[in-house]
């Protein structure tokens, strides 16, 4: 028997006996939506919603595992469909493209999918109900003359988080933590960071205070406060910043729907990636400023040569640099540290 419930005399509602009796009304609403859902993606979204609404106690254990099984079955069905017969490529493995890979994280409904849809060529589903996104979706964002990869992800909250999501996060170059100014952004930030910490992912700016340990990933994380739709909400944002207890506000206010502060966000992402652009000058020609080579900050002439061509790295005879740290055309050695915007002429 399920939880020792007594079957009613008549069996008009046989379900009575299988369901714990104390589920909140929202649960039944979600269940109704689940029954109406036509695509696997929608079904998964509503099952996740049902799971997250369910109160935590022994009486719901059975139902919870049942829902998790359903979710898992639907997800497998969808992955197989996508990969075609015989191919089982994980949707959670995404090759990095462009100047850097940025994972977009946060609780449900904060506007992660809307942001990726607005800034890139990708079209992830944006929906007014939570858990509409269950797989990651990559897209390319243009910032000046570089392309940066953004990856939309399922929410980092609720009963079921795909474990593979954490591998995807670890492999990324940085994360955007997207929260909703009009919800409870502080709680959202804290809860998401707690979820990451459980999986040994720690914000890089806390590295000095952190005790360290095995398999710890220190990750550059940029806080993005979405739904800062107009000036009337700027005050709320200021208050939020003051609560952050740091000299400079580590958060960026944006609004996807009002397209506010997109350029500021893009620049902040670029800066947080810790990269620089260096241009190649073929001997006797002008550099092409439309196509930079991207290096980690601190990269040397040798690193740059490797990006241009492996032959250059191996056979490099000399290099000249034009840029902020050198006088024009200065001869430099292999281990000369380059700076953002430098132009380099390599000779082999």
Ligand X SMILES: Nc1nc2c(ncn2[C@@H]2O[C@H](COP(=O)(O)OP(=O)(O)O)[C@@H](O)[C@H]2O)c(=O)[nH]1
The binding site for Mg ion (CB under 5 A) comprises 113, 133
Binding at 255: pick from Mg ion, ligand X, none (beta carbon under 5-8 Å per type): ligand X
Residue 140 burial (CB < 10 Å; 0-12/13-18/19+)? middle
- Cα–Cα distances (Å) from 114 to 29, 229, 330, in that order, read 25, 14, 47
CA distance 71 to 37: 14
Binding at 114: pick from Mg ion, ligand X, none (beta carbon under 5-8 Å per type): ligand X
Which residues have C-beta within 8 Å of that of residue 82, sequence separation ≥ 6? 91
Q: What minimum distance in Å lies between the beta carbon of 254 and ligand X?
A: 7
* β pairing state of 221-226 and 217-219: unpaired
Q: What minimum distance in Å lies between the beta carbon of 230 and ligand X?
A: 10
Binding at 229: pick from Mg ion, ligand X, none (beta carbon under 5-8 Å per type): ligand X
CA distance 241 to 49: 31
Q: What minimum distance in Å lies between the beta carbon of 10 and ligand X?
A: 43
CA distance 139 to 133: 15
CB nearer ligand X, residue 219 or residue 233: 233
Binding at 135: pick from Mg ion, ligand X, none (beta carbon under 5-8 Å per type): none
Binding at 17: pick from Mg ion, ligand X, none (beta carbon under 5-8 Å per type): none
CB nearer ligand X, residue 134 or residue 304: 134
Residues of this chain that interact with ligand X (CB under 6 A) are: 108-114, 126-128, 132-133, 155, 226-227, 229, 255-257
CB nearer ligand X, residue 196 or residue 316: 196
Q: What minimum distance in Å lies between the beta carbon of 113 and ligand X?
A: 3
Q: Tell me the sheet residues that pair with 343.
A: 279, 322
CB nearer ligand X, residue 166 or residue 304: 166
CB nearer ligand X, residue 49 or residue 345: 49
Q: Which residue has the tokens 């806390």?
A: 206
- Cα–Cα distances (Å) from 18 to 3, 12, 62, 216, in that order, read 8, 13, 9, 43
Q: What minimum distance in Å lies between the beta carbon of 51 and ligand X?
A: 16
Residue 94 contacts residue 137 (beta carbons within 8 Å): no
């Amino acid at each position: 028997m399920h939880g020792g419930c007594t079957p009613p005399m008549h069996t008009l509602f046989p379900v009575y006996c299988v369901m714990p009796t104390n589920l909140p009304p929202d649960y039944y609403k979600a269940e109704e939506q689940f029954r109406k859902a036509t695509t696997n993606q929608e079904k998964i979204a509503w099952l996740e919603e049902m799971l997250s609404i369910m109160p935590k106690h022994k009486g719901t254990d059975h139902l919870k595992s049942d829902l998790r099984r359903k979710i898992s079955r639907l997800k497998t069905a969808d992955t197989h469909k996508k990969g075609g017969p015989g191919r089982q490529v994980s949707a959670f493995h995404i090759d990095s493209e462009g100047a850097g890979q940025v994972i977009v994280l946060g609780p449900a409904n904060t506007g992660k999918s809307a942001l990726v849809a607005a800034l890139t060529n990708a079209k992830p589903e944006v929906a007014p109900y939570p858990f509409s996104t269950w797989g990651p979706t990559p897209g390319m964002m243009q910032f000046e003359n570089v392309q940066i990869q953004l990856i939309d992800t399922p929410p980092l909250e609720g009963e079921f988080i795909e474990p593979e999501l954490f591998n995807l996060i670890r492999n990324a170059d940085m994360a955007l933590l997207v929260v909703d100014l009009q919800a409870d952004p502080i709680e959202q930030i804290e809860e998401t960071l707690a979820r990451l910490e459980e999986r040994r992912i720690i914000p890089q700016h806390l590295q000095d205070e952190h005790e360290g340990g095995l398999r710890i990933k220190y990750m550059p994380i940029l806080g993005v406060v979405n739904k800062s739709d107009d000036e009337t909400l700027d005050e709320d944002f200021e208050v939020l910043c003051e609560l952050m207890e740091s000299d400079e506000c580590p958060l960026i206010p944006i609004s996807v729907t009002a397209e506010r502060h997109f350029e500021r966000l893009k620049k902040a992402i670029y800066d947080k990636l810790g990269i620089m652009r260096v241009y190649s000058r073929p001997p006797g020609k002008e550099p092409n400023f439309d196509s930079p080579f991207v290096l980690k900050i601190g990269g040397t002439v040798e690193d740059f040569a490797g990006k241009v061509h492996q032959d250059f790295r191996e056979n490099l005879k000399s290099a000249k640099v034009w840029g902020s740290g050198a006088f024009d055309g200065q001869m430099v050695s292999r281990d000369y540290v380059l700076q953002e915007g430098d132009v380099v002429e390599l000779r082999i």
